[in-house]
Amino acid sequence: MNFLRRLHFDLWYLGNPPWDSGVTPPEVFEFIQSHPAGRALDIGCGTGTNVVALVNAGWQAAGFDFSPRAIRIAKRKIKRAGAQAELFTDDATRMKKVKGQFDLALDIGCFHGIPNKADYLNHLKRVLAPNGFWLMYGFLAAADSAAPPSVTPADLKLISEQNLALVSRRDGFDGRERPSAWFLYRKI
């Protein structure tokens, strides 16, 4: 299952996947401008656009993705930007290569597609520093379906059972009018 998902994403990166706009969302800038720079981890970082933005804002950033092709592109992007960041392939439900703890875990569009979100959350708790933030963007489940990728009411309940406190939630729609939201959680 995971192998097929990884292959699916890796193939997307042969071309220009629709999410890979090269633009860091304003919600990310808002966060980094209102919090002191520290260590950041971009989970499912894709081609590294947001890792570059974090480094440029003074953060010590790392990013991983389970698509080797995405990571190859991300490494080139970081090099071109003259920035330094740790980039590696890893699986968000294992985070085997993630060392140490982070003040910010950023997730734009990865968590919502994860089949086993409990595994992801267990590792998230491990890699977040005390009081560390998890800034996550995901599609929301439609009222009549919980088909992935989506953050479902059951996922929100699961998150609420972790030692993560909801700081803010901003609902909206993506470019295709799909309901989506930005969530900011803090480890307690």
Least Å distance between CB 124 and ligand SAM? 12
The least CB distance from residue 9 to ligand SAM, in Å, is 3
Q: How far is the CB of 110 from ligand SAM (least distance, A)?
A: 4
Q: Which is nearer to ligand SAM, 2 or 160 (CB)?
A: 2
Q: Which is nearer to ligand SAM, 19 or 130 (CB)?
A: 19
DSSP alpha helices (H): ranges in the chain?
A: 2-12, 26-34, 49-56, 68-80, 117-127, 153-160
- Whichever of 8 and 79 has its CB closer to ligand SAM, that residue is 8
- Three-state DSSP at 108 gives strand
Distance CA 156, CA 121 (A): 11
**Which one, 135 or 164, has the nearer CB to ligand SAM?**
135
- Sign of the alpha-carbon dihedral angle for 95, 84, 69, 117: positive
Contacts of 119 (CB under 8 A, 6+ apart): 93, 94
**C-beta of 184: minimal distance to ligand SAM in Å?**
16
Q: Which is nearer to ligand SAM, 105 or 108 (CB)?
A: 108
> Residues in the site for ligand SAM, rule: CB under 6 A?
5, 9, 19-20, 44-46, 49, 65-67, 70, 91-93, 108-110, 113-114
Q: How far apart are CA 33 and CA 89, in angstroms?
A: 28
What's the CA gap between 63 and 115, in Å, rounded? 21
Q: How far is the CB of 59 from ligand SAM (least distance, A)?
A: 16
DSSP state letter for 140:
B
